[in-house]
Amino acid sequence: MENVAVRAYAKVNFTLDVLGNADGYHLIDSLVCTIDLYDLVRARRRRDGEVRVTMRGMPYPLPPEKNNACHAAKAFVARFATTGADILIDKHIPVGGGLGGSSADAAGVLRALAALYGISDGAALKQVADGLGSDTGYLLTGGCARITGRGEHVAPISGMAPVSLLLICPGRGVSAAACYARYDALGEAYPPVTGHALRLLGKEGTMSALRCCSNALTAGAKACNAAVGRALEEARMLSPVAGMSGSGSACFAVFEDKQACLAARKAYRGRFRTYCVRTLPAQFHQATR
């Protein structure tokens, strides 16, 4: 195989608890699902061991050589002693939205290169991914999961019914580092909710669990970008089940079916970009020529 393409799916955090710090990292506990919004990653073999990454589509604030996709490609070449690749990424996931776009691209690059070079060692890929970012290992497979630690511990969750979400995305993103710094500066304590949400999932089903939507980083994200507060208010006006993903700035309203989500998008009168998306099951998405 000389050329492959994979979809690098975004994620949404339905809950996000911050449980402390270890070795300079925040420890989290989060109920997270991938959604059918994706960047498209294309990879082609090189023969010289070099890596070239080109981003197009949505504006990206970092030069390609400094983003996670490039780091992922270089880490893959070093770990598996392959001969490099030209990588093209068509970006559709909003940057700085807390939707895991950077980590999704890194995971997509690893999956594309694994297909390109016939690497089937999933444990080794996960090890490489965990060295790149908190969500990268999880996004190798995606689906619904509970992620803990820095995000490197992934426990798949069964029994989550698919739901539709209206994403409401302010034009300016939020830096994860800045958001966590504001969280620390605010010094507020938030009771953890992820465990309770999962107990409700087992007893009462998906929508009962998602009514626990809560994100300990919300106040920090609002302090970084006032538009987050407006987007969250708008989401809550559209559905009683709403929240913010990751470190912001994207917020979401949850619906049981696509028709209700589309109707909410039609009724939306705010000024932010919106996307109607659906949660996805876990799978190792196949690369294509």
Catalytic site positions: 11, 135
Place of tokens 């989060």: 30
Task: Return the H-helix or E-strand segment holding 137.
Answer: helix 136-139
DSSP states along 9-34? EEEEEEEEEEEEEETTEEEEEEEEEE
Question: In a 3-state reduction of DSSP, which class is residue 275?
Answer: strand
CB 107 within 8 A of CB 133: no
Interhelix angle 122-130/101-117, rounded to 10 degrees, is 150
Instruction: Encode 38-71: b = buried (16+ Cβ within 10 Å), e = exposed.
Output: bbebbbbbbeeeebebebeeeebeeebeebbbbb
| Residue indicated by tokens 């970092």 | 62
For residue 93, is it left (φ>0), alpha (ψ between -120 and 50) or beta? beta
